[in-house]
Structures are given as structure tokens and as C-alpha cells.
């Protein structure tokens, strides 16, 4: 089909031929461009599609999407306080496997270890400050989120053997956010990706 | 018996009699003094001896002097952070009676409740700050002390039904220090003398 290029009537056949040539070239170039584009897009899509559970570097990470039951009854590992943007309190609890591993002082943590970090706002306690007579007391405010690390060296091989989890109001964190867990925790290689130490 | 007062031989009988009189007076004064002293000391001792479990204002408070076994395995009630002179982290744990009472939301706490406050220095975490890229992370440093509140309305009636305890390096706090617990906690009458609320 002819492209919509205005051609003056009466121009010589040579010009006609030249214009047709250009039109064909343009069409071919467009086809070529489209072909390259399709191949590229296909390649990108193939790259992004999560492969389930492959232990090679290309596999997409798997996250924990169900809250481990009974975590609120687990024993204490430690506490923490983050200032800055987080401004949060943490109570870090561990299931029996976790507590035993910490107390035995053995690394890496065995499969079955689950560590829970319960986060709350870090807020001043007006009632305590009245008793103390000065502003110095901070207590947990409303809960912000609960995060977990679940050890399964096979299932979570893509993220150092740990399945990361984040729940806010019972809902898991979105994938984009969850992807930030592992690169940060990977910097704690010496302690099997776990930042929290045991408080005696 | 004669006191060891040198008497010159050959002095008249009158002087002898005078001296003997003085000696007897001196002896009687000494006896009188000793008698008064004994009565006074007895009175002081009687006053200081702890009366066990009397519910009147005169009874001396009783403190907990043995660490409740297994407290490190109890469940989490909450966490706390004190600035100022204390500069400390607390992990507050409770035995089963305590946890149930908190979750039932019932006051006063029943007899058998034991609440443990594990205290640590509140220290910056250099290793975490390196990963965060800024100074914002605080973790428990060395333990400072462990404190307990043990509910027994009869035994500890003098201190609101609670036996207070403080241990540092396994040793109980001295009585003068322990006497400061109750007057401060008494200001939390509305929550049965307990400052810590349950963190969900």
C-alpha cells in the first residue's frame, strides 16, 4: 500500500521510481524495527518470569506469605531500637529451633529455624514520665509490622537459605518491597544473614 | 571484789570508808548503765527484726531474695527504653499466670503472677550502622540487672501484695535500695502497681 506521501502529478517516472524505492525501504526498516522490538520484549519477559525454585542465580526469590502460627508465644532472643525513619522498637522472638541454635552458638542456623521481629512505634510514655518526674521513658506504641526469617536451605536457596516475610495488618508485603530484604541481609554473611544477637 | 584503786597503807579508817563508799557507788552506776544499755539494745533489736506478714503499717517489707527459676524462658509482655541516668533497654517477660492475666485484661493480677524485667545497657550497634549507612541502630549491651515482681497478697501485703526483687550479677539488692521500689510503684495503683502494658 502506498504511504501517504504527497506526489505531484506529472513528475517524471524516475522520481516516481525513487519515491517508491524510498517508501519500500521505509517499510522494510519499519518491519525490521518491529521484529527487533518483538524479540527484545520477548527476551525481557522471559527473563522476568519467575522460575519456581531453581537453585541458580537466575531464579526469582520466594517469599513467605503465611504468618507462622503461634509466633507471639515464642521465646525472647533480643530487643532493638531503630531511630531515623524507622523510629521503631523491635522484640525479636524465636521458635524452639531458633532458641536452641542461638544458645548452642552454632552457625549456620538449621533448617526449621524461624525468627520473628515484632515492630512497634517507639513512643514516649506520658504516664511513666509523670512518675519519673522527667521525660525519659519510651514504650511500644501501635504495632507497625511483623517480619520473619524462615530457614529452608533448599526452598529459599535463591535468598541465602532464608525465606523473608513482612506482614502489616495481616497482609504480606508487595514483591517490590520484599526484594529489598535479601540484598541487605546478605551483608550479615558472618552471622548467616541474621543481624540480631542473643541477649542473655 | 575490790577495784584496782591504789590505797596507801596506814591511812585512817575514815578515808577507807569513804573510798569504799565511792567504789560501791561507782559499781552501782556501772550496773545501772549496763542495765539501761541492755534494755535499749533489746528494744532496738526487737524493732528491727522483720515481723513476718503482718498487715499493719509497722511491718517491715519483705523482698524476694531468690531468682525465680526459668525466667529466661518466659514469654514476652513488652519492651522498654529508658533514657536519662538509666540509659537502659528492658525486655519484660511473664510466667504463664502473668501472660494469662494480661491477655484476659483482668486486674488485679492473681497470686502467682511473676513479672521479670531484664535490663541491659542501650548501646549503638556499629555493625548495623555500617549496613544502614547511618547511625540509627541500638541494641542491648551487657546486662545490668534483672528485676522481678512476685504477687502474693498475704506474704507481701506491706508492699501492695507484690514482692519486689533486684539482682545484679546474681546478688540481691541491698535493703536500703529495695525500700525505694514500693513507693514508686505505688503510683501505678490503677494498674495494680505494674507500669508495663502488654504489647500485642
Check if B71 contacts A (Cβ < 8 Å).
Answer: no
Check CB contact under 8 Å for B83 and A195. Answer: no
Confidence label for B27 from pLDDT (cuts 50, 70 and 90): confident
Are B138 and A187 inside 8 Å of each other by CB? no
CA distance A64 to chain B (A): 21
- A2-6, A38-42, B72-76: which is most confident: B72-76
Phi, psi of B39, rounded to the nearest 5 degrees: -60, -40
Whole-angstrom Cα distance, residue A15 to residue A22?
10
Q: What is the dihedral of CA A168, A174, A175, A176, to 10 degrees?
A: -110
pLDDT tens for each residue of A79-134: 999 887 667 999 999 999 999 999 999 899 999 999 999 999 989 999 999 888 88
pLDDT at position B5 over 60: no
Residue A105 backbone dihedrals phi, psi, to 5 degrees: 70, 25
Chain A: residue whose CA lies nearest to B82: A137
Top pLDDT among A140 and A56 is at A140
Q: Which of A15-29, B31-45, B85-99, B185-199 has the lowest mean pLDDT?
A: B31-45
**Nearest of A78, A88, A76, A173 to residue A122 by alpha carbon:** A88
Phi and psi angles of residue A97, each rounded to the nearest 5 degrees, phi first: -60, -40
Q: Does B128 touch chain A (CB under 8 A)?
A: yes
Is residue A44 within 8 A of residue A146, CB to CB? The reply is no
pLDDT given at position B62: 87
Hey, is the C-beta of A89 within 8 angstroms of any chain B C-beta? yes
- pLDDT category at B134 given cuts 50, 70, 90 is confident
Facing B195 at nearest CB: one of A78, A128, A184:
A128
Alpha helices in chain B (DSSP H): 13-48, 96-104, 126-132, 175-178, 181-185
Q: Is B89 on the interface with A (CB under 8 A)?
A: yes
Unique residue bearing C-alpha cell 525479636: A92
Give CA B46 to chain center in angstroms: 19
pLDDT of residue B135: 79
- Residue A104: the pLDDT is 98
Triad B114, B115, B120: Cα angle to 5°: 140
A140 touches chain B (CB under 8 A): yes
* A40-44, A62-66, B183-187, B190-194: least confidently modelled range: A40-44
Q: Which chain A residues have a beta carbon less than 8 Å from that of B79?
A: 79, 89-91, 120, 139-140
Nearest-CA distance B104 → chain A (Å)? 15
Greater pLDDT, A41 or A153? A153
Residue pointed to by grid coordinates 518483538: A38
CB pairs under 8 A between A and B: 103
pLDDT for residue A132: 81
The partner residue sitting opposite B137, judged by closest CB among A82, A137, A200, is: A82
Residue B195: pLDDT band (50, 70, 90) is very high
Residues B79/B199, Cβ–Cβ less than 8 Å: yes
Write the residue in A82, A139, A143 that is nearest to B80 by C-beta.
A139
HSE at residue B1, side-chain half, CA atoms within 13 A, is 2
Partners of A117 on chain B (C-beta within 8 Å) are: none
Q: B140 and A78: CB-CB below 8 Å?
A: yes
Q: What is the DSSP letter of B87?
A: -
Which residue is closest to A89 within chain B, CA to CA? B79
For an interface test with A, which of B81, B89, B141, B146 has the most A Cβ atoms less than 10 Å from its Cβ?
Answer: B81
Mind spelling out the 3-state secondary structure of chain A? CCCCCCCCCCCCHHHHHHHHHHHHHHHHHHHHHHHHHHHHHHHHHHHHCCCCCCCCCCCCCCCCCCCCCCHHHCEEEEEEEECCCCCEEEEEEECHHHHHHHHHCCCCCCCCCEEEEEEEEEEECHHHHHHHCCCCEEEEEEEEEEEEEEECCCCCHHHCCEEEEEEECCEECCHHHHCCHHHHHHHHHHHCCCCCCCCC
B183 vs A: CB within 8 A:
no
Q: What pLDDT does residue B85 have?
A: 62
Amino acid at each position: 500500500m502506498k504511504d501517504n506521501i504527497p506526489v505531484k502529478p506529472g513528475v517524471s517516472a524516475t522520481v516516481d521510481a525513487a519515491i517508491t524505492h524510498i517508501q519500500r525501504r521505509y517499510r522494510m526498516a519499519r518491519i525490521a524495527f518491529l521484529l527487533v522490538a518483538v524479540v527484545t520484549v520477548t527476551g525481557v519477559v522471559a527473563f522476568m518470569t519467575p522460575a519456581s525454585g531453581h537453585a541458580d542465580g537466575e531464579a526469582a526469590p520466594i517469599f513467605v506469605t503465611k504468618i507462622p502460627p503461634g509466633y507471639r508465644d515464642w521465646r525472647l532472643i533480643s530487643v532493638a531500637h531503630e531511630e531515623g525513619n524507622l523510629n521503631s522498637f523491635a522484640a525479636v522472638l524465636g521458635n524452639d529451633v531458633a532458641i536452641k541454635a542461638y544458645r548452642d552458638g552454632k552457625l549456620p542456623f538449621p533448617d526449621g529455624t524461624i525468627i520473628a521481629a515484632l515492630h512497634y512505634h517507639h513512643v514516649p510514655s506520658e504516664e511513666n514520665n509523670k512518675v519519673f518526674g522527667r521525660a525519659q521513658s519510651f514504650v511500644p506504641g501501635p504495632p507497625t509490622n511483623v517480619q520473619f526469617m524462615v530457614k529452608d536451605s533448599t526452598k529459599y536457596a535463591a535468598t541465602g537459605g532464608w525465606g523473608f516475610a513482612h506482614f502489616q495488618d495481616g497482609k504480606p508485603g508487595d514483591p517490590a518491597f520484599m526484594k529489598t530484604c535479601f540484598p541487605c541481609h546478605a551483608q550479615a554473611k558472618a552471622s548467616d544473614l541474621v543481624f540480631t544477637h542473643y541477649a542473655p
